[in-house]
Amino acid sequence: MDKTVVSLGGSIFAENMSSYLMNIINLFKRKESYAIVVGGGPIARERIDFLRRLGATEYHLDKMGIHATRLNAMTVSLALGNSMEIPRTIDEAISILHEYGRVVMGGTEPGHTTDAVSVLLAEAYGADNVLNVTNVDSLYDRNPKLSGAKKIAGISYTELINMITAEKRGAGANFPTDILSLSIAMRSNIKIKILSYKDVNNISRALDGMSFEGTLISNVNE
């Protein structure tokens, strides 16, 4: 079976999403091996908004967000029964994977989203796939809030990079991935699968390399 890294969107840590988080925890409790990168979610946004009003630099806001991702990662790791520390670098994560066969981590350094970290981890680990498990069920051809928006089942890295650039939307506003993540994935031919955390059976199918509901980002449309 192909190796897979999971990028778990931080929005799952919202209070009204706790049942979905528990479903995913229970799914991975049944797995002997996994590599999960966890996002910052509400706690990151709250702290960043507060510090931005006080005039903190974007660099330091990124550092605050990284701490939030590591807090969420520790929450997931402990819920899965792990006792290892949350790694601060990709190299530390790889060492933990080699020793335990599983790892949960958050962000690593300013300027890198946890989506980018997940693709870097996949690259270092020799994984073929990244599952971007987030609060949307797929990519859309336009802002999904607009009438007539259509789901995209498959798209190439280059096409999506061009789409993001052309749209000029705010950072992370409507795209569940970013240009850095796509550039890293493209150079190592790592497939990115975007799917919702609300359907745990769909996540399980994607983990097992089966067909899934969502979007596949790869070198060519598949």
Q: Measured on CA atoms in the order 93, 102, 128, 131, is the torsion positive or negative?
A: negative
Indicate yes or no: pTM above 0.75.
yes
Cβ pair 181, 119 in contact under 8 A: yes
Q: How far apart are CA 149 and CA 182, in angstroms?
A: 22
Cβ pair 138, 152 in contact under 8 A: yes
Q: How far apart are CA 161 and CA 188, in angstroms?
A: 16
The architecture CATH gives domain 4-218: 3-Layer(aba) Sandwich (3.40)
Q: How far apart are CA 25 and CA 4, in angstroms?
A: 17
Please report where in the chains the tokens 């996540």 appear, as a residue.
Answer: 203
**pLDDT level of residue 148 (50, 70, 90 thresholds):** confident
pLDDT (tens digit, 9 = 90+) per residue, 191-217? 999 999 999 999 999 999 999 999 999
pLDDT (tens digit, 9 = 90+) per residue, 91-138? 999 999 999 999 999 999 999 999 999 999 999 999 999 999 999 999
Please report where in the chains the tokens 């506003």 appear, as a residue.
Answer: 173
Q: How far apart are CA 105 and CA 93, in angstroms?
A: 7
How far is Cα of residue 125 from the mean position of the Cα atoms in its chain?
16
Query: Which phi and psi (to 5°) does residue 127 adopt?
Result: -85, 150
pLDDT (tens digit, 9 = 90+) per residue, 152-167? 999 999 999 998 888 6
In the chain, what are the domain boundaries?
Answer: 4-218
